Amino acid sequence: MSDLRQRLKLIVFLFMMSLLQPMAAQDLDARSPKPMPLGREQKKADNKKAKQAAELDKAIRKGRKQHEKLQSKQTKKMMKKSRKKSKRWNDNRREFFLKRWFSPRHRKADAGFLPEYYAFYGRARRVETLFDPFYV
């Protein structure tokens, strides 16, 4: 009985495999163009395109470098800071936690100051009003 079951399973398995074979043959579409082997001219054209792309990339990098050379030291610093910040945004990374915790937007004005003064980045700054005797 067991031998008969094994033979029956083998026959069913072979039958199923024979049904799958025509499906595999249909994967190749007779109408699709066959990839032609690249000729010498095509290889030359591809190499030329690659060289042009590399030259363009090099020219862009050189232009950026020249542009940065023309800037003042402060501007270069600002550009570097901006570049880092944009990279951080594009990588979906948050600011360093200490920087976030102690940024000015989280600080509160000290209540110990007079009304015409307020805390700004940890320094007292004078608010100019019309009632200020020193307002000019």
Q: Which domain holds residue 113?
A: 95-136
- 131 pLDDT band (50/70/90 cuts)? low
The per-residue pLDDT for 105 is 74
Q: What would the mean pLDDT of 75-91 be, rounded to a whole number? A: 93
For residues 119 and 105, the answer to whether their CB atoms sit within 8 Å is no
Shared-domain flag, residues 89 and 110 = no
pLDDT of residue 127: 52
pLDDT at site 70: 95
Radius of gyration of the chain (CA): 37
Q: What is the mean pLDDT of residues 109-124?
A: 48
Q: How high is the pLDDT of residue 27?
A: 55
Q: Rounded distance, CA 93 to CA 23, Å?
A: 48
Check whether residue 84 and residue 124 sit in a common domain: no
Q: Are 129 and 116 in contact (CB under 8 A)?
A: yes
Tokens of 31: 């109408």
Q: Does residue 16 fall inside a structural domain?
A: no
Mean pLDDT of the chain: 77
C-alpha–C-alpha distance, residues 46 and 40, integer Å: 10
34 lies in some domain: no
